[in-house]
Amino acid sequence: MSGNALRDLNTLPAPERKNESSSKGNFNKPCNGNTIENVEEQPRKSLVSVQTNGGETENVQLKKIPASVQINGGETVNVGVEVANSEVEYIESENLSDVEDVDTCLKNLLPGLDSKDWILVVEALNSVRQLSIFHKERMHSILSDLIPLVVKSMKNPRSAVCKTAIMTSTDIFNAYNDDLIDSLDALLVQLLLKSSQDKRFVCEAAVRALEAMTTSVSPMLLLPKLQPYLKNRNPRIRAKASMFFSRSVPRLGVEGIKEYGIDKLVQVAASQLSDQLPESREAARSLLLELQNVYEKSRNLSTVSEHPEMGSWENFCLSKLSPLSALAVLRVTTNLTREGLVIGS
């Protein structure tokens, strides 16, 4: 195109100039000589399969990015280039299919998780999920390198990456159980944070991951990891930690609770009765009822002559707690027990 032609183009009204210079999927590209020819650029659509419980999707719309194209003679023309439309769809774990090539997938896994391209990160996270379900033995050796990158993705400000990373942790918990105990701290703090935030669909995914954690990891190993968060400054984190601590204790069984220390557990539950959030207080009440039930069963199974230290629940609480804490515990367990008797009669 000559200089006169360019000047003529610039004098056209805006709508005509738009129609002349660009169309959907087209952009101007410099060529040899003094001409610019139209070259059709097909927009690339990346479909990334992720997961949701309620059919949520995240759409990234087409955006026109300004770009300067230089032609012979030093003149430039501004053109718009359409970038890819990426749709993120969340897929349930049971609907995930196997990977096509395990070796290639494993080779690209860590670089993908550490990529600056969020779409590649999401694809890599999905690969982790697939490998956790179908080839967990093959991925076991790189868990120590993989978990920090999953945690990094949980901190990503883009919701699609964050939620996919949380869902990835769910599949990892279900696959590796106690093998994750050495890497649990980093996962746990992020899941407690995400389960306590206002963004609902992220919060719900984090709660499901914590539920998977409590059913997959041995309670004897998990409880000491959860216990420090019962005193966290953030009341929401305390509440979530209390809830999952309370859910984990019954999995110990009677003998496991006695081994862990029923007195320690009663003291933990008593400290949560005065928490500012009702979720913490309710979790404490549930735990205390479970502990009282275990104590009474243990007491009935043994005679006083064999275990003279096994007195009443009231005496036990008074011997292990401060007077005020013991009174609060007895008020809760006595009232709830009486209510249960009334309802059952």
Residue 57 is assigned to a structural domain of this protein: no
For 301, other C-beta atoms within 10 Å of its C-beta total: 11
The region of weakest confidence among 41-55, 116-130, 200-214 is: 41-55
Cβ burial, residue 239 (10 Å; 0-12/13-18/19+)? buried
* 115 shares its domain with 185: yes
65 within domain boundaries: no
Q: What is the pLDDT of residues 265-284, one digit of tens each?
A: 999 999 999 999 999 999 99
Question: What percent of the chain clears pLDDT 90, i.e. is strictly above it?
Answer: 64
8: left (phi over 0), alpha (psi -120 to 50) or beta: alpha
Distance (Å) of CA 312 to CA 25, 289, 315: 80, 15, 5
Do 106 and 201 reside in the same domain of the chain?
Answer: yes
Token pair for 115: 């990529």
Residue 148 located in a structural domain: yes
- Chain segment 166-189, per-residue pLDDT in tens: 999 999 999 999 999 999 999 999
Segment 197-210 mean pLDDT: 94
* CATH number, domain with residue 152: 1.25.10.10
Pairing of strands 26-30, 57-60: unpaired
Whether 146 and 240 map to the same domain: the answer is no
In a domain, 321, yes or no: yes
211 lies in the same domain as 223: no
79 within some domain:
no
With cut-offs at 50, 70 and 90, classify the pLDDT of residue 240. Answer: very high
Domain extent at residue 238 = 218-344
| CA 193 from centre of chain | 9
Answer whether residue 312 is part of any domain.
Answer: yes
Query: In which order are the strands placed within the sheet that holds 46-50?
Result: 46-50, 86-90, 57-60
* Same domain (yes/no): 225, 146: no
